[in-house]
Structure 1
Amino acid sequence: MKVLTLNNETFEKESLKLISKLEVKPDLVVGIVKGGSYVLEAIKKHPTINDGLFELITLQRQSTKIKQRYLKPFLSVLPYRILNKLRILESKQVTSKISELNLKQLQNIVLKFEIENTKAKSIKNILIVDDAIDTGKTMFIVKNNLQIRFPEAKIKIAVLAWTIDSSIIKPDYYLYKNTLLRFPWSNDYKQQ
Structure 2
Amino acid sequence: MTRRPPLRDLYATDFAAACAEMAEAVAQFEPDLVVGIETGGARVAEAMVDGLGSPQLVGVRVQRPATKLKSRMSLGRLFSRLPRGVVDLLRWAEVEMREATLRSQGSSVESGARALLATSALQDAATGARRVLIVDDTIDSGRTLSVVKRAVELAEPAAEIRTAVLASTWRRPPVQPDYCLYGRCLLRMPWSFDAERP
Normalised to the residue count of structure 2, the TM-score between the two structures is 0.88
For 1:1-192, list aligned pairs within 5 A. 1-22=5-26, 23-46=28-51, 48-50=52-54, 52-69=55-72, 70-103=74-107, 105-109=108-112, 110=114, 111-112=116-117, 113-114=120-121, 120-121=127-128, 123-191=129-197
Question: Measured at CA, do residues 25 and 78 of structure 1 come closer, stay the same or move farther in structure 2, by a change above 3 Å?
Answer: same
Secondary structure of the residue aligned to 1:42 is helix
Pairwise CA distance, 1:62: 3.2
More displaced 10-residue stretch of structure 1: 66-75 or 19-28: 66-75
Secondary structure of the 1:169 match is coil
Give the letter for the 2:149 counterpart: K
* Counterparts of 2:62 and 2:180, CA distance in 1: 21
Deviations 1:153-176 (A, max 9, x none): 111001000111422311110110
Would you tell me which structure has more helix in proportion to its own residues?
2
Task: State the alpha-carbon separation in 2 of the partners of residues 118 and 134 from structure 1.
Answer: 26
SS at structure 2 position matched to 1:187: coil
C-alpha deviation, 1:117, in angstroms: 5.1
Give the % identical residues.
31
Q: TM-score, normalised by structure 1?
A: 0.90
The 1:38–1:126 alpha-carbon spacing in structure 2 relative to 1, beyond 3 Å, is same
**Residue 129 of structure 1 aligns to which amino acid in structure 2?**
V
8 Å contact kept, 1:43–1:49: no
Task: Flag as ranges the 4+ runs of structure 1 deviating above 4 A.
Answer: 115-119
Deviations 1:86-133 (A, max 9, x none): 111111001112322325x22222112425759722x11100001000
The one-letter code of the counterpart of 2:33 is L
**How well do the aligned residues superpose, as a CA RMSD in angstroms?**
1.8
Q: State the one-letter code of the partner of 1:21.
A: A
Distance 2:149 2:32 in 1: 15
Aligned with 1:160: secondary structure?
A: strand
